A and B are shown apart, each in its own frame.
Chain A
Amino acid sequence: MRVLYFAWVKSKVGIGEEQVEPPAGVGTVGALLDWLSDRSPKHAAALANRSVVRIAVNQEYVGADHPVKPGDEVALFPPVTGG
């Protein structure tokens, strides 16, 4: 599974993307965020306030209960500020 980080989520995690293989029990975006938070203090800090982290799975906006599976592209980022 490919996880991408953007904007201040990327700054806080310290990397723009990583390849991860969460255990089979991690079946939703919410569970994935919990699992990612345990990877390092930086991950934990970046994902501490879930209300300001937007999630896209395979380039579509989703909520925390959306399923994730091996091979998915998951992106985590703050609310967008383009235009």
Chain B
Amino acid sequence: MIRVQREDFDLGAEVVALTQGRTDIGGVASFIGLVRDVAGGESVGAMTLEHYPGMTEKKLQEIDAEANRRWPLSASLIIHRFGRLEPGDRIVLVITASSHRQAALESCAFLIDWLKTKAPFWKQEETAAGPQWVEARESDDKAAERWVARPGGGE
């Protein structure tokens, strides 16, 4: 399941919604991305997340489907926010649930690594020097690459 929204989210409420009434789930993993107040040594006042409506949802659905193909998941959720966010605000939430912890933990890491390089979002930071578009990081490409040749699924 995926959601693209301006509004904040509540981790606890989302986990409850995802697992309520289920007795087949043995483990839930989650990741929350937050806005930092420093980027590349520069102080950041706030940021604005732009996205490509339509393609964003399509890519997130593909990424979610890929995780469900690679791991035996009981449930999964990606929420990604857009709009203006301040330091400390939540940006992205990934939750994965499976009968065993390894599938939940691995697929959660996969989802955040994969979406960082594939979902069409762009961050613009407000700095003392004016608004600056964040540049893509090679380390994010590397983090995503480690999943390319890896089948996953607890092998």
Please list the residues of chain A having a beta carbon within 8 angstroms of any beta carbon in chain B: 4, 6-8, 11, 56, 59, 75, 77-83
Contacts and interface: CB of A to CB of B under 8 A. Distances in A.
B118 interface: yes
Top 5 nearest A-B pairs (CB, nearest first) are A82-B121, A79-B136, A83-B116, A7-B122, A59-B55
Interface SS of B by simple majority: mixed
Interface of B: 33, 49-52, 54-55, 58, 80, 91-92, 112, 115-124, 133-137, 140
Contacts of B92: 82-83
21 contacts: A4-B52, A6-B52, A6-B122, A7-B50, A7-B133, A56-B52, A56-B55, A56-B120, A59-B55, A77-B120, A79-B135, A79-B136, A80-B116, A80-B117, A81-B121, A81-B122, A82-B80, A82-B115, A83-B33, A83-B115, A83-B119
A46 to B, nearest CB: 12
Contacts of B52: 4, 6, 56, 59, 75, 77
B124 A75 contact: no
A64 B112 CA distance: 28
